[in-house]
A = this chain, B = another copy of it.
Amino acid sequence: MKLYNYFRSSASFRVRIALALKGLDYEYAPVHLLKDGGQQFAAGFKAMNPAALVPVLDDNGTVLTQSLAIIEYLDETRPQPPLLPNDAAGRARVRALALTVACEIHPLHNLRVLGYLSNTLNVSDEQKNAWYRHWVETGLETLEQMLASDSRTGLCCHGDTPTLADICLVPQIFNAQRFKARLDHVPTVMRIHEHCLTLPAFARSVPALQPDAE
């Protein structure tokens, strides 16, 4: 398996955690999102992923894109340990938590969106940072309410073992910390984040430990 990846990308980070939880080895292929005008726009990479986004996972010729689709694929083809609960309602809850990060928070602050704000809409750095914090802080507040109000929340988002929800939560918190977003209003989120980082699969997937880390 070969993972096309950028150390700081939250979506890449998600897939690294999933691969580590499954105990799968892979070749790390760095794609630098800022160098060379963005290596994700190179013709060779776009032929593999027209979206020009990382991560891409090549599983022996099966080329997969979109982090959540990749993780569901890994869970179907390498079922142990499972990354989704056994029951349909639990799976729906875990997916909803994951999608709250993947659809409601992350898309609003990825690199190309922040670039559009600066370069096309000419907003100030202060306005751009306020935009970032608005979507991250309100999105995490939603996540906090979803977690704090539900008895299925345990050491992790759903019970005591990591699922797709934790795999999305932890990279989002790394991103929030990097941009200095407020986090004192989401104690359940942070408790889970800190617990996950005690687990080797999460700890060794952090951006700073990747081959392309700067």
Contacts and interface: CB of A to CB of B under 8 A. Distances in A.
A188 to B, nearest CB: 12
Q: For the side of the interface on A, what is the size category? A: 35 or more
A204 B127 CA distance: 43
Contacts of A120: 130-131, 134
B64 A96 contact: yes
> Main SS of chain A's interface residues?
helix
Interface in A84-106: 88-89, 91-93, 95-96, 99-100, 102-104, 106
Interface string A136-180: 000000100110010000000000000000000000000000000
Given A64-B96, A103-B102, A121-B123, A91 B72 contact: yes
B104 A51 contact: yes
A142 B73 contact: no
A49 B102 CA distance: 17
A99 B50 contact: no
Interface in A53-83: 53, 62, 64-66, 68-70, 72-73, 76-77
Pairs of residues from A and B, 4 with the lowest C-beta to C-beta distance, nearest first: A50-B145, A69-B95, A107-B107, A66-B96
A108 interface: yes
A116 interface: yes
Given A50-B146, A145-B50, A92 B64 contact: yes
B121 A131 contact: yes
A42 interface: no
A122 to B, nearest CB: 9
Contacts of A52: 142
A60 to B, nearest CB: 11
13 contacts: A52-B142, A53-B104, A66-B95, A66-B99, A66-B100, A69-B95, A69-B99, A72-B92, A72-B95, A103-B103, A107-B107, A107-B108, A108-B113
